Amino acid sequence: MSVHILIAEDENHTRLGLSLILRKAGYRVSLAEDGLAALALLRKAKTEGPAIDLFLTDIQMPGLTGLELLDAMAREGISLPTAAITGYGDKDMVVSLMRRGCMDYLDKPFTPDEVQRCIENLYKQQQSALENEDSGQNRDVERLRLDLASRQKEIQEARKAHAALTRVPKAQGRIRLSYISHAYGEMGGDFLDFREHEKGCDLLLADVAGHDMASSYHTVMLKAFFEDRPEREGACLFRALNTQLLASANERMISALFLRTDLPNSLLQITTAAHPAPLVMERQGKLYFPEAAGDGIGLWPDATFATHTHRLNPGDRILLFTDGISQARRIHGPTGKREILGERGLMTLARQHQEKDLETFLACLWEDVMAFCRRKPADDMLMAAMEIPETLLK
């Protein structure tokens, strides 16, 4: 499609002469006999078309002068490559027009070659501006692409670092440990750590709210605090974590469970922070949830974390889990009602596999939980089972 040029000129012979020159050169031409008529055509082209590519305007015209016309175009958001048609003594006016975006001027009287050079210059400037705009957009797109790639790499590296930092160590001593987990997201999630000592072991299980980078920071912090002072008991650990989170303007809660086994004295210490109590499975067959209570970590400066002590027997198992397990839910087909597994439901499932070895017991129990929730976990899920040796330390 040929370039469309609008000419605004009140002198009839000049207007027709320009039209003849440009049409012979292959341009499409529209004519306006004054500033008001030109503005009307520009408005129509903006809203209805056909589009106008270049604009030639006289300076001195009735209705609207060239200067007033450019001001009106600026107010209405009409932007076109424009050249002014000037007469003798209009040079100062040309400076004013140039300040308003006028790109060139054509002196009267003019020759056909001068008209074509002026139009070609306007067209080249227009194409250059479009190319620069495209180039700028391409550079912006490339910068965004590189920035996105860099951020994706950083996130991937953060995921790897998070996985490495929060990896659960294998039990090397007399206490056996097995665990299974499902992460709802790639960052954050449930946290488990295990530490052996001369009397037995310590175990920390926590559920950090969220599945983002901030939650992953919290899990790394949990590991750092857990490893910092091995002699620290559960309540002391939770108070230190609570102080740290409140000092950092934390806005999310951590629920946690701390277990310490003392094999020589046949004791199990349980400290909880708004976390489900563990399920104790005695070798003789009794299953029960021991007393455990405590506030969440990171919400209140005066949070309390009670520690309860229970007797241990050779061969006992302790099943730990996050609320993604106990709150597993499904829709009951016949009634359409929502069912929640709950702690009692988990106990019933655990009882069915109580006589199996530790790893098989946990694997079968996990399968039962997944079957209950139709294998569509809606949260992080973690289960860990710890088995007390048949002979306690003396």
For each of the domains in the chain, give its residue range(s) and CATH number, in order of start. Answer: 4-134 (3.40.50.2300), 166-387 (3.60.40.10)
pLDDT tens, 94-130? 677 777 878 888 888 888 888 888 888 888 877 776 6
Among 105-119, 137-151, 204-218, 302-316, where is mean pLDDT lowest? 137-151
151 pLDDT exceeds 60? no
CB of 31 closer than 8 Å to CB of 7: yes
Residue 205 · residue 385 · CB < 8 Å: no
Angle, CA 275 vertex, CA 270 and CA 280 arms, to 5°? 50
Tell me 312's DSSP state.
-
268 closest CA partner among 225, 205, 316, 326: 316
CB-count burial class (<10 Å; 0-12, 13-18, 19+) for 144: exposed
Amino acid at 1: M
What's the pLDDT at 8?
A: 92
Q: Residue 368 corresponds to which tokens in the numbers above?
A: 């039962």
At 77-97, the pLDDT tens digits run 888 888 888 875 566 676 777
**pLDDT tens per residue, range 193-225:** 999 988 999 999 998 876 666 667 777 788 888
- Mean pLDDT across the chain: 83
Tally the C-alpha atoms within 13 A of residue 275's C-alpha that lie toward its C-beta.
31
Instruction: Give CA torsion, residues 280, 383, 158, 172, to 10 deg.
Output: 60
Contact 257, 278 (CB under 8 A): yes
Helices 213-228, 112-165: crossing angle, 10 deg rounding: 30
Of the pLDDT bands very low, low, confident and very high (cuts 50, 70, 90), residue 145 is low
SS3 335: coil
Distance between CA atoms of residues 182 and 161, nearest Å: 18
Residue that is written with structure tokens 């529209």 in the block: 30
d(CA 102, CA 300): 66
Within the chain, how many helices (H) and strands (E) appear? Answer: 10, 17
What is the rounded distance in angstroms from the CA atom of residue 101 to the CA atom of residue 81?
8
Model pLDDT, residue 300: 87
Per-residue pLDDT tens over the stretch 44-67: 998 888 888 889 998 888 888 888
Taking the C-alpha atoms of residue 97 and residue 83, their distance in angstroms, rounded to an integer, is 9
Euclidean distance between CA atoms 311 and 268, whole angstroms: 6
Residue owning tokens 């020589």:
264
Rg (alpha carbons) of the chain, rounded to whole number: 40
DSSP 252: S
Q: What is the pLDDT, as a whole number, of residue 147?
A: 61
| Amino acid identity, position 359 | E
314 and 392 Cβ atoms separated by less than 8 Å: yes
pLDDT, one tens digit per residue, over 161-175 is 545 555 666 766 788
Residue 165 three-state SS: helix
